[in-house]
Amino acid sequence: MNNVNILVLVSGNGTNLQALIDAERGGRFRGGEDYPGGRIAAVLSDRPARALSRAEAAGIPVYTEEPRLSLGPAERRRELSDRILGIARGTGARLIILAGFLSILEGNIIKAYGGKIINIHPSLLPKFGGKGMYGERVHRAVIEAGEKESGCTVHIVDAGTDTGPVILRRKVPVLDGDSPDTLAGRIHDEEHIAITDAALMMLRRLGGDGDNNNRGRQ
Ligand code: GRF
């Protein structure tokens, strides 16, 4: 069975991307008798990001596609999403993983890749998700709400923000005296497990699909 090409979208440090790279290198995505393997065909960022040097160090092609600030917010999101769709198709991607990607995808790409785009979010969705809920803000809100546990969620991306069907969650305790930083660190460790487990689950799901498109990096 042909490998599934994966496009990973990033905006920041890229520790989740690194977990995916390490998993691929370690043979975790080699596939099985009844499901395909996966390979990271390309990494795309919407801004200069440390994640890109991680990809380059692993020999993975990188793209930087920044939002056009001259456009209004809605058109800016659509235009960037369409550019990313073009790159996804060009790399033969069948799975798109948002690993700390801060722009919001909209329009054609959601339809073209329906059910095949996943995102990782650092809270137990549906709690503490939605527009404006990213990074430190999530963890601060969790602590201020007095939550006893938090964690991370991997979900399918749909037309909403952090609203698609959940693939998996991993939980951590919120400890007395936690700062947004200490809580984020504890969750990050779980994210690295969650994102690779979720990628594997998606490869198994894609095993049933007919249109295995394998252009791009071999
Ligand atoms: C993670 O907390 C992820 O849940 C969120 O952005 C962060 C990215 O971290 N969407 P990294 O760049 O993978 O280290």
Report, as an integer, the average pLDDT of 85-111: 97
What pLDDT shows up at residue 209?
Answer: 62
Q: Is residue 216 very low, low, confident or very high in pLDDT (cuts 50, 70, 90)?
A: very low
Going by alpha carbons, the residue nearest to atom 10 of ligand 1 is: 100
- From 119, 120, 128, give the residue whose CB has the most ligand 1 atoms within 8 Å, as the site to mutate: 120
How many percent of the chain have pLDDT more than 90? 91
Q: How far apart are CA 17 and CA 84, in angstroms?
A: 18
Q: What is the pTM for the complete model shown?
A: 0.94
DSSP string, the chain: -PPEEEEEEE-S--HHHHHHHHHHHTTTTS--SSS--EEEEEEEESS--HHHHHHHHTT--EEE----TTS-HHHHHHHHHHHHHHHHHHTT-SEEEESS--SPP-THHHHHTTT-EEEEESS-TTTT-STT--THHHHHHHHHTT-SEEEEEEEE--SSSS-SPEEEEEEEEPPTT--HHHHHHHHHHHHHHHHHHHHHHHHHHHTT-S-----S--
152 CA: nearest ligand 1 atom: 4
115-143: pLDDT as tens digits:
999 999 999 999 999 988 999 999 999 99
Going by alpha carbons, the residue nearest to atom 2 of ligand 1 is: 122
101 CA: nearest ligand 1 atom: 10
Given this structure, which CATH class describes domain 4-121+152-170+192-206? alpha beta
Burial per residue of 129-162, b for 16 or more beta-carbon CB atoms within 10 angstroms, e otherwise: beeebbeeebbbbbbeeebeebbbbbbbbbeebb
What pLDDT shows up at residue 2?
Answer: 87
Q: Is residue 16 very low, low, confident or very high in pLDDT (cuts 50, 70, 90)?
A: very high
Going by alpha carbons, the residue nearest to atom 7 of ligand 1 is: 100
121 is catalytic: yes
- 190 Cα: distance to centroid of ligand 1 (angstroms): 11
- 169 Cα: distance to centroid of ligand 1 (angstroms): 15
Q: How far apart are CA 69 and CA 208, in angstroms?
A: 40
Question: Is it the case that residue 157 has pLDDT exceeding 70?
Answer: yes
Average pLDDT taken over every residue of the chain = 94
44-95: pLDDT as tens digits:
999 999 999 999 999 999 999 999 999 999 999 999 999 999 999 999 999 9
**What ranges do the domains of the chain cover?**
4-121+152-170+192-206
